[in-house]
Structure 1
């Protein structure tokens, strides 16, 4: 099952507004694939300033493997918001296996997604 996935994800994300690359690390708690596409979530265990408040949060990631034109989706950017009763926007909780569609082009590096079908569910 996707929630049986285990491993570590290391994040190195350049934030243009801060002119800084932030680093964080987390424990994977879900990984699911389709041909050319992967989605994973991880609970963050380490994070440097100015994102140290990520520690303890679950973040979602998606990757679209398009050869030299890959794309990524990141839950901590503009797409994971929830509107409260007063109309204000707040960061929404990320559940296991939840990540936005890959919306941002990868400008450096290359991802390789290797798809694996899920096993059939047991009968009964």
Structure 2
């Protein structure tokens, strides 16, 4: 009788142990489910982001866009760019299309403005050089080519222009030619964005 009691007690203990282990396993599984789900979702999110970046890259071979004013006390100088190089024209920066505009209000209240048709765009990393032929202006002759350089550094971009050293009243600049970006952009007014050019080397 004593032996039977011991066996019964041992069987009950084993059943209780098994039940506790099963409960712990179930709880552990339930607690781990969110982490497992998150771990499974992370690669998917990364893949989606990577796909989006690749899709954006194949839409155009290079670009310069955005609007901002320069930081020059007493002056109000604004530039707007909408310049693009299509993928099909990747190896021909002179096939770029778009426009750029500028307006300069001087401390004495006088002003000047111009709109140019883009005829060349080349970018490298965060730097873009664009040239365009003046189509409308109250200061420059129509048909003159001018150039602008932009360094895209966030909201503190820099900008330079060919007429810092060459008078557009007298001569054109060559395609995709400008000066170093020596002017600072007022970061409170906007920024410029550069899509880097990726030439194909055969």
| TM > 0.5 fold call | yes
Give the whole-Å Cα distance in 2 for the aligned partners of 1:96 and 1:16. 29
Counterpart of 1:99 in structure 2 is 178
Give the secondary-structure state (helix, strand or coil) at the position aligned to 2:148.
strand
Alignment match of 1:22 (pick from 102, 108, 112): 112
Aligned length: 108
Could you list the runs of 5+ residues in structure 1 that have no partner in the other structure? 82-89
Whose strand fraction is larger, Structure 1's or Structure 2's?
1
Spell out the pairing of 1:37-116 with structure 2 (5 A cutoff): 37-48=127-138, 51=139, 53-77=140-164, 79-80=165-166, 93-107=172-186, 108-116=189-197
TM-score using structure 2 length: 0.48
Q: Structure 1 residues 68, 34: CA separation in 2 closer, same or farther (over 3 Å shift)?
A: same
2:88 aligned with 1:2: no
Higher Cα Rg, which structure: 2
TM-score using structure 1 length: 0.75
Whose helix fraction is larger, Structure 1's or Structure 2's?
2
Give the whole-Å Cα distance in 2 for the aligned partners of 1:25 and 1:2. 20
Measured on the aligned residues, the alpha-carbon RMSD in Å equals 2.1
Contact 2:144-2:171 at 8 Å conserved across structures = no
Structure with the greater relative contact order (CA < 8 A, sep ≥ 6): 1 or 2? 1
Q: CA deviation at 1:19?
A: 3.4
